[in-house]
Amino acid sequence: MSLTAALPAAELRLLPQCSPRGTLVTLGEVAEISAAAEQARQLAAIELFPAPPAGASRLLRVRELQDLLLLRGVNLAEHRFTGSSEVTIAAATSKAGLTGEAPLSLPTQKRSQRRLEEALAQYLKQKTGAETPWQFRFKLTAEQARALANPAQTLSLQGGQAPFTGAQIFQLTVQTPEGWKHFSVPVEVTAPTPVVTAVHSLLRGAIIRNTDVVLVQAEVREGDNGAFHSVEEVLGKQTTRAVPEGKILTAEALQSQSYVHRGEAITVHARTAGIRVRTTVRAKDDGGLGDLIAVETLTDRKTFYARVCGIREAEVLAQPVTAERNW
C-alpha cells in the first residue's frame, strides 16, 4: 500500500533551482509542498535520486518527477503540480564557487535565525490572537540564511496548521536584490505548559488564596524546577520565602500551612476501641495539616510522633491491647 495514497490532495510547487543538502535529492528540496503538516513531512522526505557531484548539475523536468513519484507509489491524480516546469539541481559547493559567495559567518547565521523566530512569533500571534512564548526548532540552508540576513528585505510567512504546535511547514517569501525568493521551512513548534505565578508580591508565611495567583504560559527557566501547573495545587499552602510579583511558584517556595509550631504546647488526642484520651504535649517540629511531627510529654519529656489534625492539635492512633488468656 502506498504511503501517500490515503492522504488528501497537496500542491507541489516546483522551484526553478535547488542545492541538495545531502547525498540524495528529496521531493522537499525540489518543490514547495502545501499540505497538512504530517502529509507535507511525508511527501518532503521522499527520496528521488542521488545528488549531482560537486561542480556538476542536473535538470529535472515535471514529467520526469511525476514518473519518479509514480514508481514510489504516489497517486498523481490526488496532487497538483504548479510552479516551474523544470528544476536545475546543482551541488551547493559548485554554486558557491560559481557565484563567489563567501561562507556565512556565525553572527550572520544567528541573525537570520533570530529574524525568522521573530517573524514566526508575530505570525502565530496574528493567527491565534494570543501572546504565547512559542519555541521554534528549525535549520536554515545557507541560501535561506543569506536571504534572511538583511532586515531591510521584506519577509512574509504563510502556512502552518492550527493549533500550530508540533511539526509545521511554513512558506517564506523574501524580497532579495535578485528578486523574490520562496522557501519551505519545516519547523517544530512548542508552547510552554501553563504555570502558576504570583499576581502580586507575597510575604514570607503568606497563605495562598485564589486572588494571589494566576495560571499563565511562561517559559520555565533553570531554578524554577517544581513549578505548579494548576491553581488548585497551591491554594491553602504557605510561602517559605518572599515571592515577587510575576514569579513562578515552585515547590521550594511553598509548604503546607503550619497548624503547629515548634516549641508550643499542643493537644494530642489518642483514640482506640471507642476510647478517646486527650493530653497536652510540646511540639518539636513545625507541621501542616496531615504532617507527622515529633512531640514530647511535659512531665518526663518522652518523645513520640503524632499527626497534625488541626490548629495546635494532633492525634495518635493507639493500638488496642488484647489480654492474653492463660489456661
In sequence order, what are the beta bridge partners of 185?
A: 170
| Residue recorded with cell 503550619 | 258
DSSP state for residue 90 in the 8-state scheme: E
Which pLDDT score, from 0 to 100, does residue 265 have? Answer: 92
Residues 86 and 64 in one domain: yes
Residue 314 burial (10 A CB sphere; 0-12, 13-18, 19+): buried
In sequence order, what are the beta bridge partners of 190?
A: 135
Residues 89 and 71 in one domain: yes
C-alpha cell of 275? 476510647
Residues 161 and 172 in one domain: yes
| Alpha carbons 289 and 224: distance in angstroms, whole number | 26
Phi, psi of 14 (to 5 degrees): -70, 135
pLDDT single digits (tens) 125-163: 887 777 777 788 888 888 778 777 777 678 888 888 777
- Domain closes at, from 79, 101, 123: 101
Residues 279 and 217 in one domain: no
Residues 183 and 201 in one domain: no
Residues 183 and 214 in one domain: no
Kindly tell me if the per-residue pLDDT of 178 is higher than 80.
no
DSSP state for residue 229 in the 8-state scheme: S
Determine the distance from the C-alpha atom of residue 103 to the mean position of all C-alpha atoms in its chain, rounded to a whole number: 32
- Domain closes at, from 52, 80, 101: 101
| Alpha carbons 141 and 185: distance in angstroms, whole number | 9
pLDDT level of residue 232 (50, 70, 90 thresholds): confident
In sequence order, what are the beta bridge partners of 58?
A: 89
Q: Positive or negative, the Cα torsion across 20, 26, 29, 30?
A: positive
Enclosing domain of residue 68: 7-101
Nearest to 313 by CA among 327, 276, 301: 276
- Domain closes at, from 165, 191, 217: 191
Phi, psi of 93 (to 5 degrees): -65, -35
| Helix/strand/coil for 41 | helix
Q: Which comes out higher in pLDDT, residue 145 or 314?
A: 314
pTM above 0.85, yes or no: no
pLDDT single digits (tens) 88-105: 888 754 444 444 455 667
State the distance between the two ends of the chain, measured CA to CA, in whole angstroms: 84
